[in-house]
């Protein structure tokens, strides 16, 4: 008969507290035997690296029959405590029919809170011929594989961006918008499955704006692509205008089942924006996980050990609250074009459309020139009348800043756009161009164009000052980041 320690299971990590883990497979082969073999005892050896032999206990041997049913082999001696060598004296000898092979599974429990690695191999076998009683010599082969004990699970948190995930760029949202997606992250455990006990979402705002408790409400957490949230919260807790938190806790598990190492979970955060008289116009927000030591807590599903968390996913895009959509779009040129060198040459036309019902006043306009023109070039901004054509223009403002074409505050020009109406904005050169100068204007950043909306026009308290008849919401973002085509100055 031959005996060996198989190369399965492969070397791997296990978590302290795991019970009945398979550390080795042992093969007893009677294929060349002239009679059935009777095995009365076996000795297994454990080679450790770090930790202690006694970090394992309750050693057991199992034999699996042809139907795949595993049966524990009982012993007349105790194998409750691990040692460098452990003897299994079988209560009933294991009979291996000649011409067959038996595979045994060596299993043990891992003591909670321990670490180190264990490599088991078959040291010796005591066997005789079933009929003759003659001693059967078997010199075991095979070294076994190291099984490394981890003290507990680890969890990596990572940001998810894209469609129905965390905003990667700044955007606007209309007041009263429901069921928006504002954050998503992935939970990837290692070593063992986990139960999630605490998730604290933080919402922050830029210094120029703020966030209040009614800005974002009805926060909902979704697992993967499920249609029903696994957690809900009616409103956040806000310490001040710069930050709020949404806390979700459970005594056992926030989710309906443990998160396995083989199937990481996506958690998507959806919410509603407060309605008229609730949310403050101009406020902005984004979500993130603030601190791994307190804001995401999990335990091992088997070990119950606290998970070590890494990663603080943070949405990179802010969401700005507006009363309704005001959009800027590109109108001219729609294809590459040329102009003369003289001042007053038209290099771009944009259209600002008020898609709401109340009037607004355009207050700030800034464009970026992606072309290559002389550093002394300046520009003038022209505006059509409210609802006018793109050729109906009067001077609105001028700038002496090249490349960043910032017309700054234009409040003195009273560029009001009624609900459902629009204005065309035309950019013209205000100095003589150099031959082959190029111009390519864009509203490259959300917020390059801003507007004001009066509470008296909106019909509600948009700026949260306690009155719906006085006051205005200022610095509201025009949506859109259009770019016109290139213009070349030619003599």
Q: Cβ distance 108 to 114 under 8 Å? A: no
- Domain end call among 150, 180, 207: 150
Q: Cβ distance 400 to 316 under 8 Å? A: no
With 0-12 CB in 10 A as exposed, 13-18 as middle and 19+ as buried, what is 467?
A: exposed
- Is the pTM value of this prediction over 0.85? no
* Closest to 325 measured CA to CA, from 208, 420, 225: 420
- In terms of domains, do 338 and 484 share one? yes
Specify the pairing of strand 171-174 against strand 472-477.
unpaired
- In terms of domains, do 145 and 160 share one? no
- In terms of domains, do 334 and 229 share one? no
- In terms of domains, do 20 and 129 share one? yes
Q: Cβ distance 366 to 404 under 8 Å? A: yes
For 109-142, the three-class secondary structure string (H helix, E strand, C coil) is EECCCCCEEEEEEEEEEEEEECCCCCEECCCCEC
Beta bridge partners of 335: none
State residue 484's pLDDT score. 97
Beta bridge partners of 289: 201
Half-sphere exposure of 416 (CA within 13 A, CB side): 9
State residue 485's pLDDT score. 97
* Closest to 475 measured CA to CA, from 110, 206, 261, 76: 206
Q: Cβ distance 175 to 193 under 8 Å? A: no
- In terms of domains, do 383 and 430 share one? yes
Distance separating alpha carbons of residues 351 and 384, to the nearest angstrom: 10
Please tell me the total number of residues recorded for the chain in this structure: 491
Residues whose CB is less than 8 angstroms from the CB of residue 107 and which lie 6 or more positions away in sequence, other chains included: 20, 21, 22, 23, 59, 60, 61, 62
- Domain end call among 277, 298, 322: 322
Q: Which domain holds residue 423?
A: 326-489
In this structure, what token pair is assigned to residue 449?
Answer: 């164009």
- In terms of domains, do 35 and 142 share one? yes
- Domain end call among 150, 176, 205: 150
Q: Round to the nearest angstrom and report the end-to-end CA distance of the chain.
A: 100
- In terms of domains, do 77 and 176 share one? no
Name the helix (H) or strand (E) containing 298: strand 296-300
- In terms of domains, do 372 and 457 share one? yes
- In terms of domains, do 134 and 80 share one? yes
In tens digits, the chain (491 residues) has pLDDT values of: 999 999 999 999 888 888 999 999 999 999 999 999 999 999 999 999 999 999 999 999 999 877 788 999 999 999 999 999 999 999 999 999 999 999 999 999 999 888 899 999 999 999 999 999 999 999 999 999 999 998 788 999 999 999 899 999 999 999 999 999 999 999 999 988 999 999 999 999 986 778 999 999 999 999 999 999 999 999 999 987 778 999 999 999 999 999 999 999 999 999 999 999 999 999 999 999 998 889 999 999 988 888 999 999 999 999 999 999 999 999 999 999 999 999 999 999 999 999 999 999 999 999 999 988 766 788 888 999 999 988 777 777 677 665 778 887 676 667 899 999 999 999 999 889 999 999 999 999 999 999 999 999 999 999 887 777 788 999 999 999 999 999 999 99
- In terms of domains, do 178 and 302 share one? yes
Residue 202's Cα: distance from chain center in Å? 14
Distance separating alpha carbons of residues 427 and 449, to the nearest angstrom: 14
Number of domains in the chain: 3
In this structure, what token pair is assigned to residue 365?
Answer: 């306009």
- In terms of domains, do 84 and 187 share one? no
Distance separating alpha carbons of residues 270 and 352, to the nearest angstrom: 30
In this structure, what token pair is assigned to residue 109?
Answer: 């429990």
For 314-359, the three-class secondary structure string (H helix, E strand, C coil) is ECCCCEEEECCCEEEEEEECCCCEEECCCCCCEEEEEEEEECCCCC
* Closest to 332 measured CA to CA, from 384, 279, 408, 265: 384
Kindly report the CATH number assigned to the domain that includes residue 61. 2.60.40
Kindly report the CATH number assigned to the domain that includes residue 166. 2.60.120
- In terms of domains, do 270 and 194 share one? yes
């Amino acid at each position: 008969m031959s005996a060996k320690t198989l190369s399965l299971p492969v070397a791997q990590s296990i978590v302290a507290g795991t019970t009945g883990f398979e550390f080795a497979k042992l093969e007893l082969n009677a294929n060349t035997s002239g009679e059935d073999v009777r095995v009365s005892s076996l000795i297994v050896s454990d080679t450790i690296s770090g930790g202690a032999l006694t970090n394992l206990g309750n050693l057991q041997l199992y034999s699996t029959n042809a139907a795949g049913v595993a049966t524990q082999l009982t012993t007349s001696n105790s194998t409750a405590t691990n040692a460098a060598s452990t003897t299994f004296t079988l209560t009933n000898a294991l009979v291996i029919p000649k011409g067959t092979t038996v595979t045994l599974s060596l299993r043990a429990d891992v003591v909670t809170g321990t670490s180190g690695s264990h490599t088991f191999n078959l040291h010796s076998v005591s066997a005789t011929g079933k009929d003759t009683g003659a001693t059967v010599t078997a010199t075991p082969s095979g070294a076994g594989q190291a099984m490394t004990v981890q003290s507990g699970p680890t969890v990596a948190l990572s940001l998810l961006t894209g469609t129905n995930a965390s905003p990667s760029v700044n955007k606007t949202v209309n007041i009263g918008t429901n069921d928006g997606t504002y954050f998503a992250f992935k939970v990837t455990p290692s070593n063992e499955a986990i139960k999630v006990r605490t998730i604290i979402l933080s919402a922050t705002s830029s210094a120029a704006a703020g966030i209040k408790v009614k800005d974002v409400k009805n926060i909902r957490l979704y697992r993967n692509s499920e249609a029903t949230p696994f957690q809900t919260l009616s409103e956040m807790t806000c310490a001040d205008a710069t930050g709020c938190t949404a806390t979700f806790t459970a005594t056992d598990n926030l989710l309906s089942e443990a998160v396995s190492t083989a199937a990481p979970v996506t958690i998507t955060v959806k919410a509603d924006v407060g309605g008229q008289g609730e949310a403050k116009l101009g406020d902005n927000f984004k979500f993130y996980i603030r601190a791994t030591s307190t804001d995401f807590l999990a335990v091992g599903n088997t070990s119950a050990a606290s998970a070590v968390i890494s990663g603080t996913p943070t949405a990179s895009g802010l969401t700005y609250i507006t009363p309704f959509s005001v959009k800027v779009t590109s109108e001219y040129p729609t294809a590459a074009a040329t102009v003369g060198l003289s001042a007053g040459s038209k290099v771009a036309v944009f259209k600002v459309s008020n898609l709401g019902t109340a009037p607004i006043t355009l207050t700030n306009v800034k464009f970026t020139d992606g072309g290559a023109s002389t550093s002394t070039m300046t520009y003038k901004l022209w505006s059509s009348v409210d609802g006018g054509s793109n050729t109906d223009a009067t001077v609105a403002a001028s700038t002496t800043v090249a490349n960043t074409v910032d017309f700054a505050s234009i409040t003195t020009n009273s560029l009001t756009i009624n609900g459902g109406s629009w204005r065309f904005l035309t950019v013209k050169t205000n100095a003589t161009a150099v031959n082959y100068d190029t111009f390519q204007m864009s509203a490259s950043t959300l917020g390059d164009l801003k507007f004001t909306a009066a509470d008296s026009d909106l019909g509600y308290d948009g700026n949260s000052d306690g009155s719906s008849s006085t006051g205005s919401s200022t610095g509201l973002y025009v949506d859109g980041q259009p770019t016109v085509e290139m213009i070349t100055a030619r003599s």
